């Protein structure tokens, strides 16, 4: 847990950000589908039984396993060239679907 402050129309608001996990998926650094899932599992502290598939990703994220989860994907076009466009699109869709079911999941695309 960390404290954060925001200035809004001259008002200074202070609040606590409770983020259980955040991960940056950098398309320049991800080497394979397995590397992607290993990174997600490690950085987001997924359970040991995480199956390293898109279905398992959806299941884990859509359950209320933890607090706020932020997944940032950077260099999507490079990620598509490494993992395949269909797989990358399915990855993004799985995270978006999980976010619909669990509002604590946030996807950021850069």
pLDDT digits (tens, 9 = 90+) for 32-55: 999 999 999 999 999 999 999 999
pLDDT at residue number 18: 36
pTM for the full model?
Answer: 0.80
Which CATH topology does 19-109 take?
Barnase; Chain D (3.30.370)
Contact (Cβ atoms closer than 8 angstroms) between residue 71 and residue 30: no
Cα–Cα distance measured from residue 4 to residue 6, given in angstroms and rounded to the nearest whole number: 7
Q: How far is CA 85 from the centre of its chain?
A: 18
Write out pLDDT tens, residues 59-74: 999 986 667 899 999 9
87, pLDDT greater than 60: yes
Q: Which residue do the tokens 């994907």 mark?
A: 73
Domain boundaries along the sequence of the chain = 19-109
Report which secondary-structure segment, H or E, holds 98: helix 85-101
**Cβ neighbours of residue 78 under 8 Å, at least 6 residues apart?**
27, 28
């Amino acid at each position: 847990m960390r404290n954060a402050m925001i200035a809004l129309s001259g008002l200074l608001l202070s609040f606590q950000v409770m983020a259980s996990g955040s991960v940056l998926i950098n398309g320049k650094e991800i080497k394979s589908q397995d590397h992607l899932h290993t990174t997600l599992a490690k950085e987001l502290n997924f359970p040991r039984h995480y199956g390293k598939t898109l279905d398992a990703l959806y299941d884990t994220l859509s359950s209320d396993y933890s607090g706020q989860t932020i997944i940032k994907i950077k260099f999507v076009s490079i990620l598509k060239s490494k993992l395949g466009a269909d797989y990358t699109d399915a990855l993004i869709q799985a995270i978006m679907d999980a976010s619909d079911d669990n509002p604590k999941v946030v996807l950021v695309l850069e």
